[in-house]
Structure 1
Amino acid sequence: MTDTAVPDLAATPVAAPAADVGPDPVSDGYREYAPLLTASPTGAAGEANFAAWVPRTPLPPVLPRETGGLLVAGGHITQEQLDRALEASRTQGGYVGEHLVARGDIHALTLYRVLATLWQAPLVDLAHERVDEEMLRGIGSRQILAQGWIPVRREGDTLVVATTVEPTAALLDQVRAAMGVDRLDVRTITPRDYALAVGSVFRNALLHDVTDGLADAQPERSARVSLYRWQQVAPVALIVLCVVGLVLAPSPTVVALLVVANLALGASVSFKLFASLRYPWVVVRERWRDRRRRRLVALDAGPGDPPTAPPVIADRDLPVYTILVPAFHEANVIGKVIDNLDQLDYPKSKLDVLVLLEEDDTDTIAAARAARPPSYVRIVIVPRGVPQTKPRACNYGLSFARGSLVVIFDAEDRPEPDQLRRVVADFARDRADRAAGGTGAPLVCVQCALNYSNAGYNVLTRMFAIEYTQWFDMMLPGLDGTGIPIPLGGTSNHFDTEMLRLLGGWDPYNVTEDADLGMRASALGFRVGVNSSTTWEEACSQTGAWIKQRTRWIKGYMITAAVNFRHPVKFYRATGPLGLVGLTGLILGTPAAFVLYPLLLALTLVTFVFGRSVDLDIPPWLVDLGIANFVIGNGATIIVSALIATRRHGWRIGVYAVLNPLYWVLHSVAAWRAAWQTLFTPHHWEKTPHGLSEDGDDDE
């Protein structure tokens, strides 16, 4: 078995501390057992050599029974390191060993050697032992990962079991009941090897689940079949009809197209302006609610006590947080994201970072291992498969997630340090509200703000930053609380892990899996919230790469609209009129406006340049409406986006909002490419390169 098919949980061992140089005998009893704590886990031939270093007899009383005591007695850590780990365990929760490994004081393999000694269960390496897969029939990989033990084989009437958790009497009773045996031979296995074994044994089942699980369970919500036959035929027939109309009856055809273009652009711009202009009211509302909460806290404190802020969630009450980092051909930036995540203000013992790398991406795999990631970072190798997309990789990582909350960060992301804590507070507030009798939909996801650290690099990055600032700083917060479905961004969306699994995870056949998942969450009765904590990314600085990236995004919106409009009445019943407004005004309206934008641009230019000399018998009211729609729509968008971009980045960025009409031309190019790909290559993923520019100064 190789580690290219399954999670690589310790690709680059953490360097051992200076204290980890061998035993320091403290008694005759320990001197007898010292070799058992320090010997190599494998023999000269590479086979497991358990008997050489793990006892089968009870430990002598003189040897400390606690894990920390054994580690200190064996010279693996110092007393000072143990004291720090004990304090971290007291304040943050968790086991002492977890904190020692998270701080880099000891390597996980050394810890489990000692645990094997303490548990009197030989350490096993399942890379050298075959797991009897017949015993696992009817047991899913998720159950095996959750329970912490796996049956290895039968030896007569004895079952060999490997465990990564302490083999307590209760656990052994659970194993006997589940497997129908009385006699057990217990072995110890490291978390890394445990996940390797599960990934190997369940490889085919995992690949099916992460690729086709949603499509099999909810085919009407999956883009495996991107367009139904009628959805493929309709746009082609419409184009043919327009061409024939322009030849046989040009004036009526142009009038009809202009009416449709006005409706599409007007609806899209109006929707976005409504959401953006609602944002100031949301700010006022949240400030009022915050003041009210503080007054209530002050009243509860008593007349003689000073007012205090609402309590902060203590470290020991914070949940384990899984971070998924999908990366493909990102060798030049993968080390940076590992460094960025190390800056998060969150207990390292409660971080579960999975760097998701494709099996054939050997350069990024090598770069990730060379970065020497800390112990809480696991390198997960995603097996080859089709489609080779980001959502498929995320589904694979979700299978191995340990956290009760999970978030996606892209390879170039730099989240603000307190982001995880703020999102934990959002989920806690939602649970408290519903426990107090609130009737709102359960919160499944919190979308944090995205923005660009290289906004000032060139004109394109400035326009990209202006667009993102309006989207994440105004529009999405403005939609929050309206009941209109919120489309997710491709990163920094934080999920309740079990709710995400109930939703079916991400659709690997949808190239904007984020927007799709936001709509699916709404249709299934969940709610998406927003948080102003920002994740900084790298804006695409090259026009060709930008068009490819935007093509994928618009194509995903088209496919998401097509999937949800398969059964519009059913969608309406599930989400209500506001859901239909969001689907029509945003998911469908955005690509429609981009596709039809050149018509209104051409009408406006022709009218202003040539007057009314072009004889197409266009009614004057339609010309006036088109010009007003174009000028007022663009003007309002310029003003709103300039204001919010100036607040975020300064006026030297905000002033570029006047170029929005030209920026939309690029969107139109991408939209027509997207329409073509939607018909002929719906699952094709055009990769966005990163690391093309250094961080730009916003004020330059």
Structure 2
Amino acid sequence: MSSVFTVDPRGNCGRSDESSASTETLAGSDPRLDEAVYGLRSRTPELSAATGLWSWQRRSLAVLLATLCIGAVVARETTLTALLAIMAAPFLCVVMLRTVALWQLRRRSLDGATPVASDPELPLYTVLVPLAREEGIVPQLLASLRAIDYPAERLEIMLVVECADALTQLALQRASIDAHMQIVVVPEGDPRTKPRACQYALQFAQGDYVVVYDAEDVPEPDQLRLAVAALKAGGSRMGCLQAQLNIYNSDATWFTRQFTVEYTALFDCILPTLERLQLPVPLGGTSNHFPRAVLEAVGGWDPYNVTEDADLGIRLAREGWHVGVLRSTTWEEAPPSFRVWKGQRTRWLKGWMQTYLVHMREPGRLWSELGTRRFIGFQVLMGGMILSSLVHPWFYVLLAVDLWQGRLLGVPDSVFGQWLLGIGLFNLIAGYVSAIALGTVAAARRGRLRLAAHALMMPVYWLGISFAAYRALWQLVFAPYYWEKTEHVGRADAEQTERPVTL
């Protein structure tokens, strides 16, 4: 029999059970909810986004903004030169990372796979599926979960829904979920985020390993078996495996094509390169496979961080755990319209900003825990992504103004200024070329060479990312924990025909 975990029936989430499921009632105040919301915040407040900016960070940002404003008025050229000099290094490092990723693609085969664990070796596996207003996608979700090649008696699937989400709860109950599936109803409260739901459900989990899937996910059937084998082979410090993510509706719209090129380059090329270089790996929001003991030891997910995945990847690195990339794909749905894409990308960038600011509260401690090389990698990857998203459109504005005035970027006519101009132009051109090349090669390896021409539109797509970055910055100040829900419609086809990739 399946189970429904609910809250006090005297509260506004109490409900009758319309299925054959048994019900476990958590009467009174729920200590599990307190742990989900306040656990990380109370034990390690310096690692929780709930506590906001520290005083020294606020003062530093105020001084920086004041300096830039004054400099722009009284010493425009000097200020611009200083900014270009500061930004040149991280942008150059990003270009180098893409180049290394391209180079390493030459040594990776498309054949071969991690050995699949046999049934006697398989431990109990918990699958967490947080759902929010996903009633329309329940049939696809259950079909994907039922397709997982793993013994049902060793599989614990938790369908996690908010208590106010009556439609999704009803859709799950009417779908006659399997005996190894449980509906976990998260009590009312704030912040109303995915990590809060996952952190609540984790406390019911019994599995030795835990994976998180999203509602629209279609994981390859043998992914859990592959994960068991890879986690065991990874040694005692293997803390997480990130499966490759890719897109099943890649040809739907211009946005889905751009998203597919971007995702393929990230999960097939960039993340494996970070793993090989032993740099911090910011996790994707789904298909993260953990030993449950490790996940609990690092505090689980931060309910106040809207990209809890990236934050958790950095916390794992700080505590010395290794993050690997699993040779298995989970197929996802790309946002088909600007409206849907804008909300999702805003949340991602806001979460990256939260993650960067949280981990930079104590830079010396972060440096000590990561080491110099990984500390620099964190600055380039996390800081560089945020900085480039905010700066990118202003380069075009500056270029247009200066060309109108017969100048080039306002750089002083000196040896240093000319060197700086050369580096800046190199970063711009090499940045575009390396990103387009990486996206093209990655898409081709997935059997999607037809998307190569769309990679040429990346600079336009990046302007959209910049728009989302400024929207994220606004929300970071005025609505830091607001979760913009991504709408899903599901896949129309029954079978995924794209080519799998082995790293």
1:320 aligns with 124
RMSD: 2.8
Aligned residues of 2:280 and 2:377 also touching (Cα < 8 A): yes
1:596 aligns with 391
2:27 aligns with 200
Which has the larger Rg?
1
Verify: 1:337 aligned to 2:141, yes or no.
Answer: yes
Q: Report how far residue 13 of structure 1 moved.
A: 4.7
2:334 aligns with 539
Pair 1:695–1:675, CA change in 2 (3 A): farther
1:560 aligns with 355
Most deviating of 567-576 and 395-404: 567-576
Letter in 2 for 1:460: F
- Which runs of 5 or more structure 2 residues have no equivalent in the other structure? 499-503
Verify: 1:655 aligned to 2:453, yes or no.
Answer: yes
Aligned residues of 1:276 and 1:470 also touching (Cα < 8 A): no
Task: Map 1:61-460 onto structure 2 (within 5 A).
Answer: 192-193=22-23, 196-197=24-25, 199-200=26-27, 203-281=29-107, 283=108, 312-431=116-235, 442-460=237-255
Aligned residues of 1:604 and 1:630 also touching (Cα < 8 A): no
C-alpha distance in 1 between matches for 2:430 and 2:471: 27
Letter in 2 for 1:360: A
Aligned residues of 1:327 and 1:334 also touching (Cα < 8 A): no
Secondary structure of 1:504's match?
A: coil
Letter in 2 for 1:269: V
Q: What per-residue deviation string (whole Å, max 9, x for no partner) do you get for residues 463-490 of structure 1?
A: 1010110110011111223221111100
Secondary structure of 2:300's match?
A: coil
C-alpha distance in 2 between matches for 1:606 and 1:644: 36
Q: What per-residue deviation string (whole Å, max 9, x for no partner) do you get for residues 249-303 of structure 1?
A: 322223333333433433333334434533444x36x98xx8xxxxxxxxxxxxx
C-alpha distance in 2 between matches for 1:662 and 1:475: 21
C-alpha distance in 1 between matches for 2:336 and 2:142: 23
Aligned residues of 1:271 and 1:585 also touching (Cα < 8 A): no
C-alpha distance in 2 between matches for 1:687 and 1:625: 40
Q: What per-residue deviation string (whole Å, max 9, x for no partner) do you get for residues 519-547 of structure 1?
A: 10111121111112000010011112212
1:26 aligns with none
Letter in 1 for 2:43: A
2:501 aligns with none
Most deviating of 679-688 and 471-480: 679-688
Q: What per-residue deviation string (whole Å, max 9, x for no partner) do you get for residues 354-376 of structure 1?
A: 01000111111111212221111
Aligned residues of 2:116 and 2:226 also touching (Cα < 8 A): no
C-alpha distance in 2 between matches for 1:205 and 1:664: 44
Aligned residues of 1:548 and 1:686 also touching (Cα < 8 A): yes
2:379 aligns with 584
Secondary structure of 2:386's match?
A: helix
C-alpha distance in 2 between matches for 1:537 and 1:3: 28
Secondary structure of 1:332's match?
A: helix
Letter in 1 for 2:153: S
Aligned residues of 2:223 and 2:328 also touching (Cα < 8 A): yes
C-alpha distance in 1 between matches for 2:271 and 2:115: 27
Letter in 1 for 2:250: A
1:675 aligns with 473
Pair 1:524–1:310, CA change in 2 (3 A): closer
Q: What per-residue deviation string (whole Å, max 9, x for no partner) do you get for residues 190-214 of structure 1?
A: xx44xx14x336x421111011101
Secondary structure of 1:232's match?
A: helix
Verify: 1:501 aligned to 2:305, yes or no.
Answer: no
C-alpha distance in 1 between matches for 2:302 and 2:157: 22
C-alpha distance in 2 between matches for 1:336 and 1:692: 7
1:62 aligns with none
Letter in 2 for 1:425: A
C-alpha distance in 1 between matches for 2:102 and 2:77: 37
Aligned residues of 2:94 and 2:380 also touching (Cα < 8 A): yes
Secondary structure of 2:330's match?
A: strand
Secondary structure of 1:394's match?
A: helix
Aligned residues of 2:140 and 2:490 also touching (Cα < 8 A): no
Within the candidate set 625, 634, 637, 2:432 is matched to 634
Secondary structure of 1:516's match?
A: helix
Q: Report how far residue 633 of structure 1 moved.
A: 1.4
Letter in 1 for 2:328: S
Pair 1:650–1:445, CA change in 2 (3 A): same
Q: What per-residue deviation string (whole Å, max 9, x for no partner) do you get for residues 41-99 of structure 1?
A: xxxxxxxxxxxxxxxxxxxxxxxxxxxxxxxxxxxxxxxxxxxxxxxxxxxxxxxxxxx
1:63 aligns with none
Q: Report how far residue 514 of structure 1 moved.
A: 0.4
Tell me the TM-score normalised to structure 1 length: 0.65
Q: Report how far residue 11 of structure 1 moved.
A: 5.7
Aligned residues of 1:650 and 1:698 also touching (Cα < 8 A): no
Q: Report how far residue 616 of structure 1 moved.
A: 6.9
Q: Report how far residue 509 of structure 1 moved.
A: 0.8
Pair 1:270–1:555, CA change in 2 (3 A): farther
C-alpha distance in 1 between matches for 2:103 and 2:219: 27
Aligned residues of 2:262 and 2:439 also touching (Cα < 8 A): yes
Letter in 1 for 2:232: A
C-alpha distance in 1 between matches for 2:362 and 2:461: 34
C-alpha distance in 2 between matches for 1:577 and 1:407: 31
C-alpha distance in 2 between matches for 1:410 and 1:319: 22
Letter in 2 for 1:502: A
Q: Report how far residue 588 of structure 1 moved.
A: 1.5
- Which runs of 5 or more structure 1 residues have no equivalent in the other structure? 15-107, 109-191, 291-308, 435-441
1:64 aligns with none
Verify: 1:516 aligned to 2:320, yes or no.
Answer: no
Secondary structure of 2:216's match?
A: coil
Secondary structure of 2:182's match?
A: strand
Aligned residues of 2:255 and 2:338 also touching (Cα < 8 A): yes
1:132 aligns with none
Pair 1:311–1:232, CA change in 2 (3 A): closer
Letter in 2 for 1:585: V
Q: Report how far residue 12 of structure 1 moved.
A: 6.1
Q: Report how far residue 608 of structure 1 moved.
A: 6.8
Q: What per-residue deviation string (whole Å, max 9, x for no partner) do you get for residues 131-182 of structure 1?
A: xxxxxxxxxxxxxxxxxxxxxxxxxxxxxxxxxxxxxxxxxxxxxxxxxxxx
Pair 1:606–1:261, CA change in 2 (3 A): farther
C-alpha distance in 1 between matches for 2:418 and 2:69: 24
C-alpha distance in 2 between matches for 1:394 and 1:634: 38
Most deviating of 226-235 and 271-280: 271-280
Aligned residues of 1:320 and 1:403 also touching (Cα < 8 A): yes
Pair 1:370–1:643, CA change in 2 (3 A): same
Q: Report how far residue 611 of structure 1 moved.
A: 5.3
Pair 1:248–1:389, CA change in 2 (3 A): same
Most deviating of 398-407 and 616-625: 616-625
Pair 1:377–1:3, CA change in 2 (3 A): closer
Secondary structure of 1:365's match?
A: helix
Aligned residues of 2:444 and 2:452 also touching (Cα < 8 A): yes
